[in-house]
Structure 1
Amino acid sequence: MTMSLFITLADDSWQRAHYALIVAAGALSLGRTVTIFAGGKSVHALAKDWSGLKDIIPDAELDSRGVASFRDLRDAVIDLGAHLMVCETGLALTDLTPDTLCETVSVRGIVTFLEQAGDRPILAL
């Protein structure tokens, strides 16, 4: 039986979002299902333009160091079939709209995320 991984993000930290994508990509590569829920200002991590995150390290700099870029990680997580959700309240807080999000991202409330997680552990980053 494959264990599901549930990750929640709550702030606008680029570092936390980048690491969440690393964890998600690793779990997906092992055949686990992954759900990421971005709340508050972390919704920027799942927007087409993630420049609303704090302390961003540019993808070109990461590439030059041999580190997976934000774009590459997020694209991999999407391609590997992660379930991506953003909080309705987070959208209102950031003035983002559903059309500014990546194509596969759904707008949901925390209750939906918690229902899906059930009794399984939630990794908060």
Structure 2
Amino acid sequence: MSRHMFLTLADDSWQRAHYAMVVAAGALSLGRDVTIFAGGRSVLALTPDWQKLQGAVMDSELEAQGIAGFDELRDAVLGFGATVMACETGLTMTGLVSEDLLEGVAVKGIVSFLELAGDNPVLAL
């Protein structure tokens, strides 16, 4: 049986958020359970307007190169059943509220994420 994967994001880097979605989608495709916790300004990755992430590359630019865009990856991650959490403090930091997040994203604190992770390794991206 494969282990549950726990990922955290902490800043507003598009590159890190995109790669986290690549890793999560890959793990989900292999049948692993995945939980993502977005803290700080990384909560921007969980809104419809992810283009506010620093260094954002438009999906059309990636797709022209045969690379999955951010929307496609994020939709796959949510669609394949990943648990996705946005940090309460991150929402306050960015001036967002829970209604600004995508459907299926839970608002939680770091303690909830760590409690769920237990003794499992946490990959910080």
Match in the other structure for 2:121: 121
Instruction: Answer yes or no: is 1:33 the counterpart of 2:5.
Output: no
Match in the other structure for 2:3: 3
Instruction: Answer yes or no: is 1:69 the counterpart of 2:65.
Output: no
Per the TM alignment, residue 47 of structure 1 is displaced from its structure 2 partner at its CA by 1.0
Match in the other structure for 1:50: 50
Using the size of structure 1 for normalisation, the TM-score is 0.99
Match in the other structure for 1:96: 96
5+ long unaligned stretches in structure 1: none
Q: Report the aligned-residue RMSD.
A: 0.5
Q: Secondary structure at the match of 1:74?
A: helix
Per the TM alignment, residue 31 of structure 1 is displaced from its structure 2 partner at its CA by 0.3
Q: Secondary structure at the match of 1:36?
A: strand
Per the TM alignment, residue 13 of structure 1 is displaced from its structure 2 partner at its CA by 0.1
Q: How many residues align?
A: 125
Q: What CA distance in whole angstroms lies between the structure 1 residues aligned with 2:89 and 2:20?
A: 21
Using the size of structure 2 for normalisation, the TM-score is 0.99
Per the TM alignment, residue 77 of structure 1 is displaced from its structure 2 partner at its CA by 0.4
Identity across the alignment (%)? 62
5+ long unaligned stretches in structure 2: none
Q: What CA distance in whole angstroms lies between the structure 2 residues aligned with 1:21 and 1:123?
A: 13
Q: What CA distance in whole angstroms lies between the structure 1 residues aligned with 2:75 and 2:14?
A: 16
Per the TM alignment, residue 2 of structure 1 is displaced from its structure 2 partner at its CA by 2.2
One-letter identity of the residue aligned with 2:73: L
One-letter identity of the residue aligned with 2:115: E
Per the TM alignment, residue 106 of structure 1 is displaced from its structure 2 partner at its CA by 0.3
